[in-house]
Amino acid sequence: MDLLPTSDSANFSTATTFGDQNNTTDECPPAEFKDWQSTVVPAYMLLISVLGIGMNGFVLMVFCLHKKACTVAEIYLSNLAAADFFLMAWLPLWAAYAINRYDWPFSHYLCSLFSLPINMNTYCSIYFLVLISIDRYIALVHPLSHKGISRTKFAKLGCLLVWGFGLLLSIPTLMYRKVSYFPQYNRSLCFLNYSDIKEEFLFEGMQNTFGLIIPICIISYCTLIIIHSLNNQLIERSNSQKTEQKATTLVLVVLLAFVICWVPHHVVKILETLKRADVLKGCSIIANLQICRTISMYLALFNSVLNPILYVIVGKNFREKVRGLFKQWSINRTMTVRTTSTDSNLLRSVKPEVNSI
């Protein structure tokens, strides 16, 4: 699920927008470098990086600094915001690569880490959504057992396991990414250098299975049951049920946004795998895949900016936390001003007595 090219495909439409290394014949010549790729692309990356860092940082601040402890769903959402923040903080390096016309200017070691945040965000985000879906499923379908199962310590342990599993699935990126000079492009490129096509298909298949197919099946099942449960519930609900419904509505919207933003990227990845297996052939298909890969990447990255916006628009509980946090700051500021004013008045009253002595 690497957003950057592999050695066999060398499809640089995402990070370099060059042609396919295996299709550099007269029939399918490599695509030429365009000026907008070193101007528009890095500008877009820097823009969403600034927005993503600011918005996700704000979300993390609200969840961490609010006086009330986070619920299980909020623990998962805060970790999702942390994964988005991690990705957005890394994008300026990608933008620098684009500004340099995709001629790798950094060390080989940094190349190995180059797409790690992207992979970590991809895998961790979808498994945080799995945990959220399971939590909402238990809360709505099995409410009596919800209190016993969804304790915060188990939620934190689940998040820790997700971060570890995301790093495990990203190992191929750390192992096989390298820097090499390509004379046909007159550039040093940072790319995945699998030893053979079988090795590439093995890791791609493993990542697609554990990073997409399995979690999507779990999310789809839980979501269908959740929607069915919401439709069957009576109009009159208890306050706890209404609270669970509010949280579930936000979760469903976040799930829908993730599907819209990330599924096109995964579909393009599958098509590119079929192309490398010579199932899909033709210059027009290669060119279209390059365009689709670029668009799907930009859409996937935008999901990290979209999530904080959804928290504010859809998440009523989140808005209440924001208001509570600002109210808390206002009270603290007022108390600080009053304390300062009181201390100043005491100093003024003491000063004449000192002068009289």
Cα dihedral sign for 322, 150, 129, 169? positive
Q: 132-145 b/e with 16+ CB inside 10 Å = b?
A: bbbbbbbbbeeeee
Are the C-beta atoms of 173 and 102 separated by less than 8 Å? no
**Alpha-carbon gap, residue 252 to 227, rounded angstroms:** 9
Are the C-beta atoms of 173 and 119 separated by less than 8 Å? yes
The confidence score (pLDDT) of residue 246 equals 66
* Side chain identity, residue 192: L
Tell me, yes or no, if the pTM score tops 0.75: yes
Which of 318, 293, 300, 251 shows the shortest CA–CA distance to 87?
300
The confidence score (pLDDT) of residue 86 equals 92
Give CA separation, 68 vs 63, 87, 158, 320, 325, in Å.
9, 28, 21, 11, 10
**Alpha-carbon gap, residue 81 to 53, rounded angstroms:** 10
The confidence score (pLDDT) of residue 23 equals 38
**Alpha-carbon gap, residue 267 to 218, rounded angstroms:** 19
Q: 345-355 b/e with 16+ CB inside 10 Å = b?
A: eeeeeeeeeee
**What is the Cβ-side half-sphere exposure of residue 280, based on CA atoms within 13 angstroms?**
17
The confidence score (pLDDT) of residue 348 equals 61
The DSSP-derived string for 235-275 is: SS--HHHHHHHHHHHHHHHHHHHHHHHHHHHHHHHHHHHHH
**Alpha-carbon gap, residue 353 to 357, rounded angstroms:** 6
Domain spanning 21-339: CATH superfamily: Rhodopsin 7-helix transmembrane proteins (1.20.1070.10)
Q: What is the pLDDT along the chain (357 residues), one digit of tens a residue?
A: 454 444 433 333 333 333 333 333 445 655 555 666 777 888 898 999 999 999 999 999 988 887 777 888 889 989 999 999 999 998 898 888 888 888 898 888 888 888 888 888 889 999 999 998 888 888 777 766 555 555 788 899 999 999 999 999 998 888 888 898 888 878 888 888 888 878 888 888 888 889 888 999 999 998 888 888 777 755 445 555 555 666 677 788 888 898 899 888 888 888 887 787 777 777 777 778 888 888 888 898 899 999 988 887 777 777 788 887 777 777 767 776 666 666 566 556 655 554 545
